[in-house]
Amino acid sequence: MNISVLGAGAWGTAVAMALAAKNEVLMWGRNADAIAHMQARRENTTYLPGFSFPEHLQLTPDFATAMAHIAAPDSLLVIATSVSGLRPTLQACVPYQPGRVIWLCKGFEEGSQLLPHQVAREVLGTSATIGALSGPSFAQEVAKGLPCALTIASTSTALCQQVVQALHGNAVRVYSSDDLVGVEVGGAVKNILAIATGVADGLGLGLNARAALMTRGLAEISRLGSALGGKAETLMGLTGLGDLILTCTGDLSRNRKVGLALAQGKSLETIIQELGHVAEGVRCAKAVRTLAQQQGVDMPIADAVASVLFDGISAQEMITRLLARDAKQEIH
């Protein structure tokens, strides 16, 4: 199967490497010098150093070449940009009329508060079959060949089967879901909660506090997911609970690192500069706060994180506000 991956960051590279075990994969990146360096070294030394590219992974800085690679009807396009890059990348794809498109990003589009599949439908209409690949996954571990379980979400059974065929095997397991909303909400909101748990850990609040934040955070994910039409069982699966556990506790989590740095009193500008990678929870926090207000959904942890990131309150004040909330029924 011919597959083109648009985006050469850490996760895009890791997925491209995994796909290349069974497919002819062409990865596109906009920086021609960086792509030439990666092709010569057979390694992404900037975002995923130490992992050699497999034989069936090639690279190109030419967008038209990447799209020509998937001209056949049974080909697959994988978009590996951030959420902010999804719309312009899809718009660039429109003249090439891609038939089957999936994306790896997690979050809500800032400004519109749209989920990725809603953005895709706005840009592509019904001309393409679309889906989201999500789940608890760190790029370094996938590149290393360690076990990983992912979910492909689409209303198209044929697309789900195609992605399973392309990626399932060796250490990667791929499950299917028809609940795009639930899968995408889980993947988006868990990043905000990872920032919250990073703050708590950075302040030395202990494992009890971390467990409480994660559990109450899952309730927030479930409330928003249900309000937007997602299925409750999805949010208890890989792309909800599973991704939440990984992102809140794993030391490779960029969003957790943001929380740890906030606890040290660092400014958001400094944190982003030091991180060097996109932490989707930062952009997502503002969008989720707005969306929760519009939907009438109570999300105190997500709101508190947004207040630290954008309203100037301190990490300690965030915790104080959460602890000062009135007691209520746990399940309601």
- Catalytic residue positions? 190
Distance CA 201, CA 268 (A): 18
Distance CA 38, CA 28 (A): 11
* Tokens representing residue 126 in the block: 């019904």
Q: Are 191 and 106 in contact (CB under 8 A)?
A: yes
Distance CA 179, CA 184 (A): 9
- The amino acid sitting at 199 is V
Q: Which residue has the tokens 């905000």?
A: 192
9-43 as b/e: b if 16+ CB within 10 A: bbbbbbbbbbbbbbbebbbbbeeeebbeebbeeeb
- The amino acid sitting at 324 is A
**Sequence-ordered strand ranges (E) for the chain:** 2-6, 24-28, 43-44, 48-52, 57-60, 76-79, 100-103, 129-134, 148-153, 172-177
